[in-house]
Chain A
């Protein structure tokens, strides 16, 4: 039996870094697109137009209620059929993770919109701030501010979930790490190294969430 050699992963640091870059890039792109999609979806769920409301609810519940891995495979196989051409792995991964991120962030926005007190709306009406002005200058900024801590948690979750794209052959941190482990026959060292790298990125983020949350709560405590 081989002994545990903690130096093994260091020999492959450059490959791992390339994998990490792929994971981060995908997370950031899908987060940005997912936040936009999530905000629009949260608005659609408050729409007075029933079919739009139903569609938005169906989308959110479907993506929140099924395993991300299945969503991923499903989109990888179905997207080419729907589009009529092969969009490529990266684009498929972006679509899949964006849809997932959109579903979870829409719930975040829904909660933050609800948490704006009724008095804010009364005050605005008394000041003549209505319609687009109300939405743009009072509701949206407060909803975003209240959503920031949860959005950061969503970002951490998305970063970790992004490891699933290795299952469809994307060369992210997880994929590169496990192929090295297969090639070298050093699964324990390599998987530990991957976990440490994920943790090194996620942990500071989760700490930041706590700080930011405290600050925002202090700001909003009026």
Chain B
């Protein structure tokens, strides 16, 4: 249905042993949204993305995609709809390219081996993405021959090979040397302009302001504040958000 949210997380509960990470987190996302999630270190931002990617069990709650049940707690088990999972992509902090494959193969492995795409078609698509990201000259290089910024752009291209409807980014620039951050952020801005729905975890508040359509401040296992960047980052309504934003910006200065 047209009014169905792209993603709807309802009353999410998650623990690691005795450590409670989410205590009824609720959050939803429209097709046009680029959600930036901010929050204290150890607050569960990575965990949230990993749950949405289908990499983690949950304790309670449910997640819907386009109104269809995606992740549910069913008795003692977490049930994940694999078809819906295939529509989500994720980029990790440490790129995690396949070190034994060249760049082109890094991109074509998943579509060829698991989506039944022909090699020729996959390579054509991969070269298109590499060209778009200025990496076509590196198609036959190995990951170890690339800079961090190049590797992270390859990782983004690899995720795009599967045409995700939602792309998750977990601190994708924090492992990079400062001078390489801009090239990765530029690629993400380009995707944003092309209308790609994204959920982004970042500590870079300037980038957050530029790319976000909404900023979500999550702390203590719930969403504390959720609104446009001008609100959450510049004029937070909740004291706890204000405290956090001031502290993070103060550190930057």
Interface membership of B97, Cβ < 8 A: yes
List B contacts of A137 (CB < 8 A). 109, 113
A187 to B152, CA, bound (A): 64
Assuming the contacts A122-B55, A123-B92, A126-B53, asked whether A222 and B151 have C-beta atoms less than 8 A apart, the reply is yes
Assuming the contacts A123-B96, A145-B100, A218-B144, asked whether A128 and B114 have C-beta atoms less than 8 A apart, the reply is yes
Size band of the B side of the interface? 20 to 34
Size band of the A side of the interface? 20 to 34
- Per a CB cutoff under 8 Å, which of A120, A127, A141, A221 touches B144? A221
Q: B90 — nearest CB in chain A belongs to which residue?
A: A126
- Per a CB cutoff under 8 Å, which of B89, B99, B144 touches A126? B89
A142 touches B89 (CB 8 A): no
Q: B105 — nearest CB in chain A belongs to which residue?
A: A137
Interface membership of A207, Cβ < 8 A: no
Q: B161 — nearest CB in chain A belongs to which residue?
A: A127
A222 touches B97 (CB 8 A): yes
A127 to B163, CA, bound (A): 11
**Interface residue ranges, A against B (CB under 8 Å):** 117, 119-120, 122-123, 125-130, 133, 137-138, 141-142, 145, 218-222
List B contacts of A126 (CB < 8 A). 53, 55, 88-90, 159
List B contacts of A122 (CB < 8 A). 50, 55, 92, 96
A138 to B158, CA, bound (A): 15
Interface membership of B248, Cβ < 8 A: no
B162 touches A128 (CB 8 A): yes
Tell me the smallest distance from the CB of A133 to a CB of chain B, in Å: 5
Q: List 16 A-B contacts (CB under 8 A).
A: A117-B96, A125-B54, A125-B55, A126-B89, A126-B159, A128-B115, A129-B109, A138-B98, A138-B109, A218-B144, A219-B144, A220-B99, A220-B100, A222-B96, A222-B143, A222-B144
List B contacts of A222 (CB < 8 A). 95-97, 99, 143-144, 151
Interface membership of B191, Cβ < 8 A: no
A-B contact count (CB 8 A): 68
List A contacts of B135 (CB < 8 A). none
Interface membership of B86, Cβ < 8 A: yes
Interface membership of B110, Cβ < 8 A: yes
A127 touches B99 (CB 8 A): no
Interface membership of B142, Cβ < 8 A: yes
Task: Write out, one digit per residue, whether chain B residues 36-57 have a CB within 8 A of any chain A CB (1) or not (0).
Answer: 0000000000000010011100
B144 touches A220 (CB 8 A): yes
A128 to B97, CA, bound (A): 15
Task: Write out, one digit per residue, whether chain B residues 98-123 have a CB within 8 A of any chain A CB (1) or not (0).
Answer: 11100000000110011100000000
A119 touches B99 (CB 8 A): no
Assuming the contacts A122-B92, A126-B90, A128-B162, asked whether A141 and B110 have C-beta atoms less than 8 A apart, the reply is no
